[in-house]
Chain A
Amino acid sequence: MPRIDRMTREITCTLVYDGPARSGKSTNLRYLHGRARPGSRTSVSWSPDLDLLALDAGAVSGFRVRFQLYAVSGEEHRSVTRRMILQGADGVVFVADSQARRVDDNLAGWRALDADLDRRLPRVTQFNKQDLPVGLILAPADLAEVLGDDPGRGVPADALHGSGVFETFDLLSRLVLQQFA
């Protein structure tokens, strides 16, 4: 659950970007990092296991809202780190690789997330790499059907060039904070 301190009037939310290896999780964070005002990027860390980006979203209803974004490695041998991070998540972005050849990887990642995460937790699916040639990718609706997901809660994206990255973060932020409204 997001941390709320009513005495200091601060809310801190942990958002985790999960998904198969090389689907674009770190790319999302690096894009957000590059676009954020320098004074609002309170900390950043890039490593093979884990990327961390802390953002200050300013005051909302008199509460200072901070986000901690994690991108966990999709490599199988780093799964212990991944599970530890997911235990503290307040919301999750599943970054799917829209390439048709990666359907099995997406499905494996999706099932792993279902196994490791409380289903009541806010979740957004990002259908990344939608910029690739049509013949090489699945449309968001088709990929959602493969995953068994609701296509209405997904965001098409091209994280490398920033398309859909802000929209994904914005959507998940709203979903996570709705429990405080």
Chain B
Amino acid sequence: MRTVEPWVERPLTTFLEESSARIAAVLTPSGQVVAQHGFAAAPDLMAAASLAAGIMAATSELSRVIGAPPLRELAYEGHDVGIYLAAIELPGRRWLGLVAYGKDSSLGLVQLFFGELVKDLGRAAPPKPFALAGPAALDPDFEAELDRNLRALFGR
């Protein structure tokens, strides 16, 4: 398992153990990965995260256009694999949960323990509205490098 926010790890681990899900990812609405388990390759994870975020955004907009309440969950039950996509409502933040499960689990189990996951995340979340933590991505003097790149990009 990999997590950006350490406090997400225990609730997600518990969910995986109880639901027997094969794959689980916690995402921001824009498709940024907060935590994941089960994805073997980064491109697969990126693709899944983008698609999941896009699906929820599209269905939410569709709900708004037709005057329906915002869509909170989507489920697909295939012959061998099921997929569950649902909102995770936390204080000051809304995330998405993407789950894939096999024949050793079921939609009902996943939904049941996903509800517990949301509660556990709510209890574990920091009290103040938070932003994704982690080391700063860019050097303090990134602007010089950015400026050089942009000037090269536009031939200046």
Residues of A that sit less than 8 Å from B by CB: 1, 3-8, 11, 32, 35-37, 40, 55-61, 63, 65, 84, 88, 166, 169-170, 173-174, 177, 180-181
Contact = CB atoms under 8 A, between A and B. Distances in A.
Main secondary structure of the interface of A (DSSP, over half): mixed
B154 A36 contact: yes
B55 to A, nearest CB: 15
Interface residues of B, number: 30
Contact of B146 (A1, A3, A32, A57): A57
A166 B156 contact: yes
B146 A35 contact: no
Interface string B15-36: 0000000000000101111000
Given A35-B155, A61-B137, A84-B61, A177 B146 contact: yes
A16 B145 CA distance: 23
A56 B2 CA distance: 28
Contacts of A11: 137
Nearest to B39: A7
B150 to A, nearest CB: 6
A130 B76 CA distance: 56
B134 interface: yes
B146 A40 contact: no
Contacts of A173: 146, 150
A181 B154 contact: no
A169 B42 contact: no
